[in-house]
């Protein structure tokens, strides 16, 4: 019953935040996304990172395209996820050209083309991870879309790391910050939340 209650609460928050986020105009989202990307790029963890795992945004999400392009220009090793339908997990691929290396995949989200991009299994090489999400708490709690893809990926990464962990960062609009997000044992917190207004240091993961 407790599990059911937690899932119901999470879904209610998702629906509310997604509706509110959709109400932001395209121009407003673009301006705020630019501000978020600039703040993320100024983080020491990003500047020092050699290998960056990002994602391609869709719909009314914070647009990650500018940041991903910047990382490529800076000759960082850029990885993007692709949904593995068979395993229901994320496989990671290295991309070098957003125009040629991507195509609409699961849920119409741009994903790496397997025939063009090498698959990367050495998760220990990751320095910086940009995580998507619907809502976030200032303590680092992250509410995703409900598939558990990123929490499973982070669990796999955690197995390969002994001494430290990649920086976990989320970019989000300030209206996505809320209190009272329920958390489960399998949920991972982020280390930094970056909005158009501020950089929020969160509880250590």
Binding residues: 10-14, 56, 61, 142-150
The secondary structure of residue 23, as a DSSP letter, is: T
Measure Cα distances from 183 to 7, 28, 92, 105, 187 in Å.
10, 30, 26, 29, 6
Residues of the binding site for ATP: 10-14, 142-150
Tokens 């994320």 appear where? 90
Phi, psi of 77 (to 5 degrees): -80, 115
Residues of the binding site for substrate: 56, 61
Q: Cβ(77)–Cβ(143) under 8 Å? A: no
Q: Cβ(128)–Cβ(53) under 8 Å? A: yes
């Amino acid at each position: 019953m407790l599990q059911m209650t937690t899932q119901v609460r999470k879904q209610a928050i998702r629906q509310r935040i997604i509706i509110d986020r959709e109400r932001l105009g395209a121009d407003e989202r673009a301006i705020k996304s630019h501000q978020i990307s600039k703040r993320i790029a100024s983080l020491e963890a990003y500047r020092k990172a050699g290998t960056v795992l990002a994602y391609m945004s869709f719909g009314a999400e914070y647009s990650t395209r500018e940041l991903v392009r910047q990382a490529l220009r800076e000759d960082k090793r850029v990885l993007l996820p692709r949904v593995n339908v068979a395993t229901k997990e994320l496989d990671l691929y290295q991309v070098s050209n957003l125009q040629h290396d991507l195509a609409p995949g699961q849920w119409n989200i741009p994903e790496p083309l397997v025939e063009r991009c090498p698959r990367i299994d050495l998760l220990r090489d990751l320095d910086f991870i940009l995580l998507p999400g619907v809502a976030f708490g200032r303590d680092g709690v992250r509410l995703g879309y409900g598939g558990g893809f990123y929490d499973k990926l982070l669990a796999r990464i955690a197995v390969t790391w002994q001494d430290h962990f990649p920086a976990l960062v989320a970019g989000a609009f300030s209206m996505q910050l809320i209190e009272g997000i329920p958390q489960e044992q399998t949920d991972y917190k982020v280390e930094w939340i970056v909005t158009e207004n501020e950089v929020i240091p969160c509880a250590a993961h």
